[in-house]
Amino acid sequence: MNPWLMSLLLFIFLSMFAGTIADRYWILRAGEPDPRLDHIGRRLRNLFRIGFGQQRLLYEKAAGRMHVAIFSGFLVALLRTITLIGRGFNPEFHLPFLVGPVGVAYTFLKDTFAVIVLVAVCYALYRRLILRPKRLHLSGEAVLILFWIATLMISDLLGDAAFFTLHPDSPERTGAWVAGLLSGAFAGVGEAGLRHWFNAMYWGHVTLVLAFLNVLPYGKHFHVITALPSVFLGRLTPSAHLDRMEFEGRETFGVGRIEDFSWRRILDMYSCTECGRCDDMCPANLTGKPLKPRSIITNERDQVYAMADHYATVGKLKAQGRMKEAAALIESTPRPALIGEVNSEDALWACTTCGWCVSSCPVVIDHIPNIIDQRRYMTMMEAKVPSALQNALKGLENNSNPWNVGSAAREDWIGDLDVPLMREKGQAEYLLFVGCAGSFDSRNQDVMRAVCKLLNTAGVDYAVLGTEEGCCGDPARRVGHEYLYQMQAPANIQTFQKYKVRKVITACPHCFNAIANEYPDFGLQDVEVIHHGELLADLVAQGRLKVGAAADKATVTYHDSCYLGRHNNIYEAPREVLGAVGGLDMVEMPRNRREGFCCGAGGGRMFMEEDLGTRINHERIAEAAGTGASEVCTACPFCLTMMDDAIKETDRQDDMRARDIAEVLLENLE
C-alpha cells in the first residue's frame, strides 16, 4: 500500500495516544499504593468470566446482549485491524495463524460479526434516542461513538467488497459473505474506480481506528481500554469485606481528598461506563435519597479530569519518592472539597452497603470501600457523624453494643432457658455467637431463644459466650469508626482462641460477614462460620429436626438479607427451612435473591434517622404485601426489625407479620 503514509499515521496517532495514557498513568500514581498482582490464576479466571465472558451483562436480555455483541465484534475486529495496518507496509501481509482455511473461517466470522455489531448499534441508538430508559443519560458522546463504530464496520465491508471485485480469485473471498453480497453494488465500476473505492475505504478505516483510539480516553468510553484491566485488578475478597486499615505512620485516616484514595479507586473512575446499572436497584436512590452510586464515581472522576495536571504532578512526585513536596502541593492546591462539595455528606451517609452496585457493575467498580473510606474520614478525622448515630457509637464504645445497654446484661435474654455458657462448659463443637441484636433487642431475643430451643431439640453441642461476647464490630466499621472496630474484632478473636473455637453459628448475617470474611485479617484462622439458616436446613435434612405441617396455612414470602444473599451467596438454605414446613404457600417477591431489595438497615443505617425521601422498609413491605403474603420471613435481625417496623408504620398489623425462619420452624416441629 503506502508504508510512508502508514508510518506517518501510526507515528502521529500512537504518539498522541501514548501521551494521553502517560498522563492518565501519572494521575493513577497520585493514589495510594494497593497491591493487586496476587493470585494471578484467580484474576485470570475473573478476567475470562467477567471480562471476556461479560457475565454481569448476560443477566440482562436486550441491553446486555447488545453490549456483548459489540464487545465480541471488537475482539474479532482487533485481528482485522492488525492485518490492515500490516498491509500498509506489505499488501500481502497476513497474521501467520490466519491463513488457508483458518483465514477463510476468520473472514466469515469477521463479516458475521460486522453485521451483528451493526444490528447492535442500531438497537443501541434506538434505545438511547427513542426508548430512553431512565438509567441512561442522553449523551452526545455515546451517539457519536455508536456512529463511529458503525462507520468502522461499513468501511471495512465496503473496502473488502471493492477489493474482492478487483481480485475475485482471492482465497479469502469464500469467507467474505457480506463483502461478497456488497460487491454487487460495484458492478459496472471500472478498475480505477474500484481502486479509488478500496483506497478510500482502507485509509478511511485505518485513520478512523487510530483516531477512535485517541478519542476514547477523553470520555466515558475510556472503559473500552480500562475495563479488562479493571476486571483483572478487581477485588478477590467477598463483596462486603473491607480492607484492614493501618494506623501506624499515618496522619490522616480515611479519604478526604482524591489523593488519599488508592490508585485502584482512580482506575474505577476511569472505567465507569455510566451505564447506570448500579443506580437501578440502589435502595437509597430508589427511595429519593441524594445518593446515586454512579454519581459518586462520576463526580469524583469529573474532579480528577478538571484538575488532571495537578494530579499528574502529584503522581510524578509520589513516584519519585518526593513525598514532602507532594504533600505540600496537595495542601496548597485549592479545589472543591471531596466531602461536602464533590460528594454530599447526605449521599455518603445514605448508603446501606447493600452491595447491589458492586455486584451489578460490569467493570467491577467498588463503590462500598469508596464510600466507607469517606465515612472513615468524617468519623475519625472530623467527628462529623449524624446525631442519631452518636448514641450508637457511645454504646459501642462503652458497652460494646449499639443499643447502649449495660454490657453486664448481655446474657439476660437467656432467662431460665437451658443455654450452655462457654465459661461453664469449657469447650463445645459450636460457639453460638448471639450478636448485639439477639442479646439486647427484645424482638430478636425471641429469635435467639427459638434458635436455642431448636439446637437443644436437635442435640447440638453448642455454647454461648454470654458476657464474654462483644459486638462483632460491623456497625462501627460500616460507619467508618475503624479504630473502634479494630478494638472489637481482636477482643472477640482472643475469646474464640481462649475456648479453641472451630465452628461458629450466627443468626446475624452481619456477624457472619464480620467473623467469616473480616476476622481472618486480624488473625482468626481455621474457623468455620455457619449461618443459622444453613445449620437448620442441615438439621432438618438429617432428620434431627422433624417438621410437621403448618398449623396455620399461611402464604409466606422470604426477604433476602443483603449480607447473607448478595454479599455471601446464601440464598437457598433459608428457603429450604421454610420449604420443609408442610403446607406453607411460598411466594417470591419480584425482587429476590441476587436482586433482593434491601431492608434499609445495613451500613449502620439501622442506627440513623431516615428523614430524606421515603422509607426503604416501607417500599419493601409494600412489595411483600403485593405478593399476597400474610407473613414475611427473614434470617437477619436487622431485616426482622425493619420489616416489623414497616408493618406497624404502614398499618398492616392485621394482615401481615414478620418472623425469623427459626421461629417458623420451631412452631412447626412435630
Residue 197 DSSP symbol: H
Distance CA 73, CA 143 (A): 18
Asked if 354 is part of the footprint of ligand SF4 (rule: CB under 6 A), the reply reads yes
* Span near ligand SF4 by CB under 6 A; candidates 104-112, 318-326, 357-365, 399-407: 357-365
CA-closest candidate to residue 74, choices 97, 59, 52, 50 = 52
Please calculate the CA angle 119-122-123 and round it to the nearest 5 degrees.
Answer: 90
Asked if 227 is part of the footprint of ligand SF4 (rule: CB under 6 A), the reply reads no
Farthest-apart Cα atoms in the chain, separation? 100
Cβ-based nearer residue to ligand SF4, 233 or 284? 284
Asked if 357 is part of the footprint of ligand SF4 (rule: CB under 6 A), the reply reads yes
Task: Tell which one of 54, 353, 401, 557 touches ligand SF4 (CB under 6 A).
Answer: 353
* Span near ligand SF4 by CB under 6 A; candidates 109-117, 247-255, 362-370, 589-597: 362-370
Distance CA 347, CA 453 (A): 42
**In the complex, least distance from residue 268 CB atom to ligand SF4, rounded to whole angstroms:** 7
**In the complex, least distance from residue 562 CB atom to ligand SF4, rounded to whole angstroms:** 7
Q: Which long-range contacts (CB under 8 A, 24 or more apart) does 207-210 make?
A: 207/9, 208/148, 208/151, 208/152, 208/155, 209/81, 209/84, 209/152, 210/9, 210/10, 210/13, 210/14
- Give residues 522-561 in contact with ligand SF4 (rule: CB under 6 A): none
Residue 174 DSSP symbol: G
Record the cell numbers describing residue 422, joined without a space: 462457654
Asked if 230 is part of the footprint of ligand SF4 (rule: CB under 6 A), the reply reads no
CA distance from start to end of the chain = 85
Task: Tell which one of 297, 505, 537, 573 touches ligand SF4 (CB under 6 A).
Answer: 297
3-state secondary structure at position 288: coil
Distance CA 312, CA 410 (A): 53
* Span near ligand SF4 by CB under 6 A; candidates 293-301, 375-383, 543-551, 580-588: 293-301
**In the complex, least distance from residue 196 CB atom to ligand SF4, rounded to whole angstroms:** 43
**In the complex, least distance from residue 64 CB atom to ligand SF4, rounded to whole angstroms:** 12
Cβ-based nearer residue to ligand SF4, 47 or 505? 47
Interhelix angle 308-319/293-306, rounded to 10 degrees, is: 80
Cβ-based nearer residue to ligand SF4, 556 or 562? 562
Task: Tell which one of 365, 434, 454, 511 touches ligand SF4 (CB under 6 A).
Answer: 365
**In the complex, least distance from residue 242 CB atom to ligand SF4, rounded to whole angstroms:** 12
**In the complex, least distance from residue 276 CB atom to ligand SF4, rounded to whole angstroms:** 5
358-371: buried (b, 16+ CB within 10 Å) or exposed (e) per residue? bbbbbbbbbbbbbb
Q: Which long-range contacts (CB under 8 A, 24 or more apart) does 194-200 make?
A: 194/162, 194/165, 194/166, 195/162, 195/166, 197/158, 197/159, 197/162, 198/159, 198/162, 198/163, 198/166
Asked if 401 is part of the footprint of ligand SF4 (rule: CB under 6 A), the reply reads no
**In the complex, least distance from residue 292 CB atom to ligand SF4, rounded to whole angstroms:** 8
Distance CA 625, CA 613 (A): 21
Asked if 352 is part of the footprint of ligand SF4 (rule: CB under 6 A), the reply reads yes
Cβ-based nearer residue to ligand SF4, 103 or 283? 283
Cβ-based nearer residue to ligand SF4, 220 or 318? 220
Spell out, one character per residue from 262 to 291, where the chain touches ligand SF4: x when CB under 6 A holds, - when not. Answer: ----------xxxxxxx---xxx------x
**Which residue, chain included where needed, has cell 434505545?**
127
Asked if 434 contacts 407 with a C-beta cutoff of 8 angstroms, the reply is no
Cβ-based nearer residue to ligand SF4, 134 or 324? 134
Sequence-distant (≥ 6) Cβ neighbours of residue 305 within 8 angstroms: none
Task: Tell which one of 224, 266, 317, 361 touches ligand SF4 (CB under 6 A).
Answer: 361
Asked if 509 is part of the footprint of ligand SF4 (rule: CB under 6 A), the reply reads no
**In the complex, least distance from residue 95 CB atom to ligand SF4, rounded to whole angstroms:** 32
Cβ-based nearer residue to ligand SF4, 209 or 354? 354
**In the complex, least distance from residue 477 CB atom to ligand SF4, rounded to whole angstroms:** 14
Q: How many CB atoms lie within 10 A of CB 133?
A: 11
Asked if 367 is part of the footprint of ligand SF4 (rule: CB under 6 A), the reply reads yes
**In the complex, least distance from residue 290 CB atom to ligand SF4, rounded to whole angstroms:** 11
CA-closest candidate to residue 608, choices 618, 596, 616 = 616
**In the complex, least distance from residue 270 CB atom to ligand SF4, rounded to whole angstroms:** 11
Asked if 293 is part of the footprint of ligand SF4 (rule: CB under 6 A), the reply reads yes
Asked if 356 is part of the footprint of ligand SF4 (rule: CB under 6 A), the reply reads yes
Cβ-based nearer residue to ligand SF4, 257 or 294? 294
**In the complex, least distance from residue 69 CB atom to ligand SF4, rounded to whole angstroms:** 18
Record the cell numbers describing residue 179, joined without a space: 463483502
Distance CA 421, CA 415 (A): 13
Radius of gyration of the chain (CA): 30
Determine the size of the site formed for ligand SF4 (CB under 6 A). Answer: 28
**Which residue, chain included where needed, has cell 403446607?**
583
Cβ-based nearer residue to ligand SF4, 286 or 319? 286
Asked if 572 contacts 517 with a C-beta cutoff of 8 angstroms, the reply is no
Residues within the interface to ligand SF4 (CB under 6 A): 272-278, 282-284, 291, 293-294, 297, 351-357, 360-363, 365, 367-368
